[in-house]
A and B are shown apart, each in its own frame.
Chain A
Amino acid sequence: MAPSLHIVMPAHNEGAVIAKVIGRIQDNFPNAHVIVVNDGSSDNTAEEALRSGAYTITLPFNCGYGVALQTGLLHVYRCGASVVVTMDADGQHEPETIRRLMEPVANGAADVSLGSRFLPASVTYRVPALRRITATCLAKLLSLLSGQQFTDTTTGFQCLNRKALRLLTSLKDFPERAPDADLILYLVMQGLRVREVPVTMHADQGGQSMHGPIKSLLYVPNMCTSILSVLLGYAGSHK
Chain B
Amino acid sequence: MGHVSTEARLLTGFCGLALLVWSLLKLRRRSALVPTCSLFLTVGLIFISFAIYPNAFDRVSYLLGVKYPPVLYLIGCTFVLILMIVHLAGRLASTDERCRRLAQELALLQVAWQPAAGVEDANGAARDIALLQSAVLGAEAGLPTSKQPTG
Interface residues of chain A, those whose CB is within 8 Å of chain B, are 33, 35, 37, 50, 53, 55-61, 63, 67, 70-71, 74-80, 162-163, 166, 169-170, 172-173, 176, 239
Q: Which residues of B contact A (CB under 8 A)?
A: 97, 100, 103-104, 106-108, 110-111, 116-118, 120-121, 123-124, 127-128, 131, 142-143, 145-146, 149-151
- Residues of chain B lying within 8 A (CB to CB) of residue A77: 146
Contacts of A57 in B (CB 8 A): 107-108, 110-111, 117-118
Q: Is B121 touching A79 in the complex (CB atoms < 8 A)?
A: yes
Find out whether the CB atom of A78 lies under 8 angstroms from the CB atom of B124.
Answer: yes
User: Could you list 18 further interchain pairs (A-B, Cβ under 8 angstroms) beyond the known A74-B143, A78-B131?
Assistant: A33-B120, A33-B121, A35-B121, A50-B117, A55-B121, A58-B107, A59-B106, A60-B103, A60-B106, A67-B100, A71-B107, A71-B108, A74-B104, A78-B127, A78-B128, A79-B121, A79-B127, A166-B149
Distance (whole angstroms) from the CB of A164 to the closest CB of chain B: 11
Whether A58 contacts B110 by the Cβ 8 Å rule is: yes
CA distance A77 to B144 in the complex (A): 12
Q: Say which residue of A55, A61, A163, A239 sits within 8 Å of B103 (CB atoms).
A: A61
* Bound complex: CA A57 to CA B124 (Å): 12
The 7 closest A-B pairs by CB, nearest first: A79-B124, A55-B118, A239-B142, A166-B149, A71-B104, A59-B107, A55-B121
Inter-subunit contact A53/B128 (CB<8 Å): no
Least Cβ–Cβ distance between A143 and chain B, in angstroms: 28
Considering the complex, give the chain B residue whose CB is closest to the CB of A76.
B124
Q: Are A79 and B123 in contact (CB under 8 A)?
A: yes
